[in-house]
Structure 1
Amino acid sequence: MKEGRLVLYTGLGWMFDALDVLILSYLLVAMSNELKLDSQAKNWIVLANNLGMLIGAMLFGRLADRVGRKKVFMSTLLTYSIATAISAFARNWQEFAVIRFFVGLGLGGELPVVATYVSENSPPERRGRNVVLLESFWSLGAILAAAISLFLFTTIGWRSSLLLMGATAFYVFVIRFTLPESQRWLELREQRGGLFETRIIGEFVRRLTLVGAVWFLLAFGYYGAFLWLPTMLVRERGFTQVGTYEFMFLTTLAQLPGYFSAAYLVEKAGRRPVGSLYFALSALSAAFFISSNSYAELLLWALALNFFNLGVWGVVYAYTPELFPTSVRGIATGLAGSAARIGMILGPLLYPLYASTALLIIAIAWLVASALILLLPETRGRVV
């Protein structure tokens, strides 16, 4: 299969995942009055979503090693698409939270499986680039989420918008008829016989611990900052709802060049140095955002934050599957993703704090991750 088609077809599924993850931050603003959301209700909704993603990453990562990457990709896409459409009928925030748990199962399950699939189907010299390009579709999902919030929430409402988003379920037919199963997984299935995944995972405990810590700190900061940023802009900076959507839409545009820069640099300079640098620059951007006094300064450092932090997401997604053998790549990547989901749960708990305090904690977390990633082995150009 040509690499361009590989990245495109998997990337569109990745984009739909990002759309569904990131639309939640806008939903918390849009449906606040109708469902009578207070701070506690919002936290419960976010917690339900993130618990679903945590369980989904572990469950579907293991299934991908057992039954194949393609089948699990299709299953996760159907799970979150159908559940998203059902969430449009929620009568109160409690129902919405329960449904959002099932949305999270699919969302959390898809990401490690698709990253593993692209990594296994790419040549060593372009493997990192391809996975970062896959991750760049996250920015398209982020832009789409901002656009839906700005143009559809304000016209047809959030319920009708969620119904439309459920149509992503039909993309499963594209996956079914255009993507083959991972050849490496098929070869391994014929060879492995009585292979015990737990034994092999045990040989990589130190590496998995380090990778998990990096994932945790990355997600802790990202979701701690971006999930509540629209709410914080309204609460602390006096932005209107429409003004917030416009600001988020503009700053999200910086994510795409951030991914492209990382896609180029990971094959030129390596995974470790680029990941460390982008973590450090993410921390710096967050620190300067705190001290911004004007709209122009806020915009500049929000653009920088989107550029570098989404770039490092691409690096970490490319790096992780390369650190483990094929027989446990799905479960290992899923476990690393589960560490991210724990960060995703804890990061938003910073919300009661003011942005200056929350972003300072996040900046410190990213500086720690910048150091930790340097302790992992470099994989650029290696056969995995």
Structure 2
Amino acid sequence: MRKNDLETAAISAADRLERLPICNYHRFLFMVIALAFFFDNLDLAMMAYLLGSIKTEFGLTTAQAGMLGSASFVGMALGAVSSGMLADKFGRKPIFQISMIIWGLASFLCSTAQDPVSLAIYRVLLGIGMGMELPLAQTLLSEFIPAKQRGKYLALMDGNWPIAFICAGLMSYYVLASYSWRTMFMLGAIPAVFLFVVRRYVPESPRWLESKGRHAEAAQIVGGIENEVQRILKVDSLPPITQTAMMRDQGSFGLKVLWSPIYRRRTLTVWGLWFFALLGFYGLNTWIGALLQQSGLEVTKSVLYTVYIACGGIPGFLWAAWVVERWGRKPACISTLVGGAVMVFIYGWVASSAHTFVALVSAGAMMQFFMFGMWAVLYTYTPELYPTRARASGCGMASTVGRLGSLLGPTIVGVILPLVGQIGVFTVGAGCFVIAAFIVYRFGIETRGLSLEEISEIKIRKH
């Protein structure tokens, strides 16, 4: 490295990574992390299709079923807050791998549950593993992809969520026709073996290593990445390093950073966004299959309807991946939330009335278009808002607060459904999205096109 290749290793790692052309190395790394993210989401999505069958087998009331549906979110809140702090202290990669072991084991245990209490306990454990993995995936990927395409890749990674939702529905449709919901959980445990692929091909984040003073290790990893990029592109040299004005990654780490004067407002903004967005999303989606069954559809048909509706999420996240780079993070976030609120209300009106199959699926697909697009923007926006020394903690705490909303959502729906009916439930969900959109409009900042270090520097100047 040249002598003035930069004053600190934190600057050199960031600038060396930022100047790399996007190539098959980045795409392969994206594919590995995104697949782990997909398998995690597959387990998470299953409950939307299995809750109706579990409720029937155990003879649960709607309130009890709602509490069971919320059990995994208790674990996700615990997992998200602990994984963020642990990853900022011990590294992204080892905690990412531990999370995969936990959710794989817990999914298998769910398949052995013989009563609702044991199933709830296993769902909490499953939630811990999922809560650990989801924010780490966005943190790890954000620290490797250059700023010019970071938003697109993070949004595409979250596109695994609607695809996982659809795959879980298709699996449920065929499995429930011949087997029980326990078989679904057993199948969900198998992808945990993907751990070995992550262990082999995903390196530790150089940005994190240098934030901990491990400069030689960071330099070795960045050098290996540069050599691999040169080999793939078949070039003898890479673009020159452009040193940008960057904040030195020194001082406090983890949770202390989130409440420092520089980041306090940003933290409160992100927490409000995640809480209300997830309260609305999971309150509706955990119950969507059971609500269709309550309307008179048989189990397998309600599962198939839910799959059809979820298909709207695929163009939704693809659209979001485009607009986060074209419009910016704030406009993309606000538009998906407001669009989701409108379509949630329309779907609730259609679902509560005697409308045709086409009307139900069309309204539902448009609802999922915006809601899954919202997810893509959330996972793009959040890791960009914090410095390396607190990025995993920031993502983890945002996810934790969101999981509190996730926890309340299914339970609230189970309680208010007998009182206000389906249209009342969807009206509450729409209101949650409107509140989240207002929070972003009033307090959010724009991060499009800036390196992670530049975002921190700009924030300092504003304060």
Q: Does 1:97 align with 2:113?
A: no
- State the AA in 1 paired with 2:450: R
Cα shift at 1:196: 4.0
Cα shift at 1:199: 3.6
**Counterpart residue number, 1:244:** 302
Residues of 2 paired with 1:161 and 1:358: CA distance?
Answer: 28
* Structure 1 pair 326–196 and aligned structure 2 pair: CA distance change class (3 A): closer
* Structure 1 pair 361–153 and aligned structure 2 pair: CA distance change class (3 A): same
Which of the residues 418, 436, 439 maps onto 1:369? 436
SS in 2 for 1:190: coil
Stretches of 4+ aligned residues off by more than 6 angstroms = 191-194
* Structure 1 pair 125–241 and aligned structure 2 pair: CA distance change class (3 A): same
Residues of 2 paired with 1:253 and 1:114: CA distance?
Answer: 24
Which of the residues 302, 316, 320 maps onto 2:382? 320
For structure 2, list consecutive stretches of 5 or more residues without a partner in the other structure: 1-23, 215-248, 453-463
- State the AA in 1 paired with 2:449: G
Contact 1:26 1:149 in 2 (8 A): yes
Which of the residues 203, 206, 211 maps onto 2:270? 211
Q: Does 1:347 align with 2:409?
A: yes
- State the AA in 2 paired with 1:169: A
Q: Does 1:140 align with 2:198?
A: no
SS in 2 for 1:379: coil
Q: TM-score, normalised by structure 2?
A: 0.80
Contact 1:262 1:314 in 2 (8 A): yes
Cα shift at 1:157: 2.3
Contact 1:283 1:362 in 2 (8 A): yes
Q: Does 1:119 align with 2:138?
A: no
Cα shift at 1:193: 7.7
- State the AA in 1 paired with 2:182: R
SS in 2 for 1:154: helix
Contact 2:87 2:95 in 1 (8 A): yes
- State the AA in 2 paired with 1:195: S
**Counterpart residue number, 2:372:** 310
Cα shift at 1:262: 0.6
Residues of 2 paired with 1:307 and 1:342: CA distance?
Answer: 24
Cα shift at 1:31: 2.7
**Counterpart residue number, 1:257:** 315
Aligned alpha-carbon RMSD (Å)? 1.5
Contact 1:53 1:108 in 2 (8 A): yes
- State the AA in 1 paired with 2:431: I
Q: Does 1:37 align with 2:60?
A: yes
Cα shift at 1:48: 2.3
Cα shift at 1:308: 0.8
**Counterpart residue number, 1:80:** 103
Cα shift at 1:109: 1.2
Residues of 2 paired with 1:315 and 1:44: CA distance?
Answer: 28
Residues of 2 paired with 1:180 and 1:112: CA distance?
Answer: 17
Structure 1 segment 218-297 matched on structure 2, within 5 A: 218-235=277-294, 237-292=295-350, 293=353, 294=355, 295-297=357-359
**What CA deviation, in whole Å up to 9, does each residue of 1:187-231 have, x standing for no partner?**
212167863434422221111001110001110110011100111
Percent identity reads 29
Cα shift at 1:74: 0.9
Contact 2:259 2:267 in 1 (8 A): no
Which of the residues 74, 77, 89 maps onto 1:54? 77
- State the AA in 2 paired with 1:80: W
Contact 1:7 1:133 in 2 (8 A): no
Structure 1 segment 127-166 matched on structure 2, within 5 A: 127-166=150-189
Cα shift at 1:30: 2.1
Residues of 1 paired with 2:283 and 2:396: CA distance?
Answer: 21
Cα shift at 1:287: 1.4
Cα shift at 1:39: 2.6
Residues of 1 paired with 2:70 and 2:430: CA distance?
Answer: 23
Cα shift at 1:281: 0.5
Q: Of the two, which has the highest radius of gyration?
A: 2
- State the AA in 1 paired with 2:128: L
Residues of 2 paired with 1:129 and 1:22: CA distance?
Answer: 23
Cα shift at 1:33: 3.5
Aligned length: 383
Which of the residues 89, 94, 98 maps onto 1:71? 94
After superposing the two structures, state which structure 1 stretch, 23-32 or 136-145, moved more: 23-32
Contact 1:351 1:358 in 2 (8 A): no
SS in 1 for 2:252: coil
Contact 1:147 1:249 in 2 (8 A): yes
